[in-house]
Amino acid sequence: MDRRKFIGSSLLAGLAITGVTSCVASNAIEMNPSSDILSLTDRQKWLAPFSCNIEQWFRPMPFLDRIDAAKALGFSAVEIWNPNQAKRGKTPESIAERAKSLGMRVTSYSPKPPPMADPNNAKKFMAWIETVISSGKTLNVRNFNLTGHRVVEGLSMEQMVSNYTQMLRLAVPRLEAENMVATIEPYNPFNHKGDFLYGNEPALSICREINSPSVKLNWDFFHMQRTNGNLITHLENGFDQVAYIQFADSQVENQPGTGEVAYGKVFTRLRELGYTGYIGAEFFPENKDNLRAASDLAKLAKSINLQPSV
């Protein structure tokens, strides 16, 4: 079997496993007005503001085929984690090639840095920054999510934050020269034990202290809700440092409508504040039903007339 036939058959098999059966099923849905699944045409329109996180969607489909699967559901953009994992079928070159062939855009990537609170990692971190910059150029993406905030034993919270900040300062000249943006992604203490950046602070203060267009925040609403709550007020207070957005419903980490967050109001306020970028759908589709999750997300966007990303 040649490569295109293999990809096509594996894609259909993967979609069948994960909630999208085939083009025939898709056509049947569109011709059935009583179905509560939005048509592909409607999904394409209303999923335009979102970027599908193909690390959490479409498991266990081969990685590159997940880009095809995201397009089949109606997405026009995807986000990824570490692109340099050749053993998992992931390289910046292969991802960029597949996305380009499908007319899909990569909006963000999340390579894993060495622990940045450990000053002994400075050389390793700067070598990692060069790899990150190279990957971004290949993927045609300016922004990457930055973590690296694992607890370092023997150091106080104040020492870890200071070391983390100083490590970032080392990278700023290279990032600014390449017009790249590192978006610090704080976690939450329930899903990510053993880190020291949770919720809006101290990450927000770190960005303001560094005061560079190349160091901003990935404001992940899932982590912010689990850590701080009061999503809209905190977003308003920190919006000047926001460069990228991700979300999942809390506490279940599935699509909006499965948990406690009024995402219609949150997304409406996000656009009112002036955020025009992609909104990263970094969640696990409930019951691994990707078609249902995509339709639910599109319905939410339609209900509030959420405008596409620009």
Q: What is the pLDDT of residues 253-272, one digit of tens each?
A: 999 999 999 999 999 999 99
Task: Specify the pairing of strand 215-220 against strand 279-281.
Answer: unpaired
- pLDDT reading at 21 higher than 60: no
- What is the C-alpha to C-alpha distance for residues 94 and 97, in angstroms, rounded to an integer? 5
Quick check: 119 and 166 in contact, CB under 8 A? Answer: yes
Is the domain spanning 3-304 CATH 3.20.20.210? The answer is: no
Q: What is the pLDDT of residues 76-125, one digit of tens each?
A: 999 999 999 999 889 999 999 999 999 999 999 999 999 999 999 999 99
Q: What is the pLDDT of residues 186-238, one digit of tens each?
A: 999 999 999 999 999 999 999 999 999 999 999 999 999 999 999 999 999 99
Query: Which residues share a beta bridge with 244?
Result: 218
Domain residue spans of the chain: 3-304
Give the per-residue pLDDT at 310: 86
Across the beta sheet with 279-281, what order do the strands follow?
105-106, 77-79, 50-53, 279-281, 242-247, 215-220, 181-184, 143-146
What's the pLDDT band for 20 if we cut at 50, 70, 90?
Answer: very low
